[in-house]
Structure formats: structure tokens, C-alpha cells
Amino acid sequence: MKDIEIKNNNVKFKYRVSGLLIKDNKLLVVKINDNSFYCLPGGHVELLENSNDAIIREFKEETGFDVQVEKLLFVTENFFKSGTFDCHELGMYYLLKSDNIPIKDFNKNEDEGDKITRLSFKWIDVDNISCVKPEFLKEKIDVDNIKHLIIKDDKIVNE
């Protein structure tokens, strides 16, 4: 299938999923190629794919491990610059669980057909995530007190 991503001149829209996998107070993060920061494993949702299935697929593609979704933690609309692009990203952030992923750092190359992406996975302490993007995770990592809100016409329709 095709990733949900639209480019128009210098504007880009993308629909992404990300996963928070926490074990023994450690969060699994990934550094892509030579970025100076870590982010959460995940990727684009494909056309006709729901976000729940997308995070399970993306996590398997990136790590080689199976995960299960515990719950949706965040829905974000993120506006940012990336190179020459003004970006609008719709993001779904899921709390994940897995019995088969060991708590040890590892590397993997992801073959995307036209390019190879080097992924460096690391387990970091959830109380020290200063090197992780997006920034809001530094304040919102408390998974016990997070709500998923859908707002329509200035009213919360799902809590």
C-alpha cells in the first residue's frame, strides 16, 4: 500500500503512528541514521489501514519483534519545519507491550526499496528522556493519567 503523505510545493502532511514500549522503567527509543536525537519507533499509516494495525506493522518492520497495543495515549497535530518543508503531522501514540523483546540495545538496517535506513535502538530511563523528540513527551510520559480526547465543534465527544 501507499503511505499517507501529501506533498504540495513546500508543505507536507503526514499521518504517523508511534509506540511507547516501557519495561522495567525503560523506554525503547530509536535514532535514525545520524540524527542527534532519539524518537519513538513508528512510521506512516498506509491507505486503508487503521492506526492500531499500523503501529503493530511498523514496530515489526523496524525492530523485528511483535507487540500488542495496550491503549492509545495521545492524538497530536504537530506543526513544524523539516528542511524546506512546513509540516503538518497527525500522530497517534500508543502504549505497547511485548513479552519477547529483551532489554538490550540493538541496531537494524531497514530496507525501504530505494534506500537503507540505519536504526539504532536504545533503552533509556523514563525519568531521563531529554534526548527524545517530540518535546511534549518530556512532560507527558505519565501513562496512568493521560486521556484521549476527540473535540468536535468545541465539545469533547470522547473522553
Cα 80 to Cα 89: distance, rounded to the nearest angstrom:
8
Which three-class secondary structure state does DSSP give residue 33? Answer: coil
Written as one string, the DSSP assignment of 146-157 is: ----EEETTEEE
pLDDT tens for the chain, 159 residues long, are 799 999 999 999 999 999 999 999 999 999 998 788 899 999 999 999 999 999 999 999 999 999 999 998 888 878 788 889 988 889 899 999 998 899 999 999 887 778 888 999 999 998 888 888 877 676 656 566 565 444 334 333 454
Note whether 134 and 78 are within 8 A (CB): yes
CB neighbour class for 88 (10 Å; exposed up to 12, middle 13-18, buried from 19): middle
Q: Which CATH number fits domain 5-158: 3.30.200.20, 3.90.79.10, 3.40.50.300, 2.30.30.40?
A: 3.90.79.10
Residue recorded with cell 524518537: 39
Helix (H, G, I), strand (E, B) or coil at 57: helix
Distances (CA, A) of 121 to 29, 39, 130: 6, 10, 16
